[in-house]
């Protein structure tokens, strides 16, 4: 029997475990979670990439 798990689900579970065991802060967990959508190329990867690009541009302009 073959069991498949999406990369987004895998990143989400790993991130949840890291937060649960207090290995990362909330901000770091958010960055990991967003990069999971980007790496997994889910339907949310386009909007997530746009948001990340906007944040980088906003930070670099200030």
Tens digit of pLDDT at every position of the chain (62 positions): 666 677 667 777 887 888 889 888 888 877 777 776 666 676 777 887 888 889 889 988 87
Instruction: Say if 54 falls within a structural domain.
Output: yes
Instruction: Say if 2 falls within a structural domain.
Output: no
User: Model pTM?
Assistant: 0.48
Domain span at residue 49 reads 7-61
Q: Is 52 exposed, middle or buried (0-12, 13-18, 19+ CB in 10 A)?
A: middle
Number of structural domains in the chain? 1
Instruction: Say if 27 falls within a structural domain.
Output: yes
Instruction: Say if 1 falls within a structural domain.
Output: no
**Among 57, 7, 61, 60, which residue's Cα sits nearest to residue 36?**
7
Instruction: Say if 46 falls within a structural domain.
Output: yes
Instruction: Say if 13 falls within a structural domain.
Output: yes
Instruction: Say if 15 falls within a structural domain.
Output: yes
């Amino acid at each position: 029997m073959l069991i498949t798990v999406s990369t987004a689900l895998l990143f989400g579970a790993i991130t949840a475990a890291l937060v649960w065991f207090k290995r990362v802060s909330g901000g770091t967990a958010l960055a990991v979670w967003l990069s999971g959508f980007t790496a997994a190329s889910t339907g949310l990867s386009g909007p997530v990439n746009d948001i990340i690009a906007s944040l980088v541009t906003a930070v670099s302009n200030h």
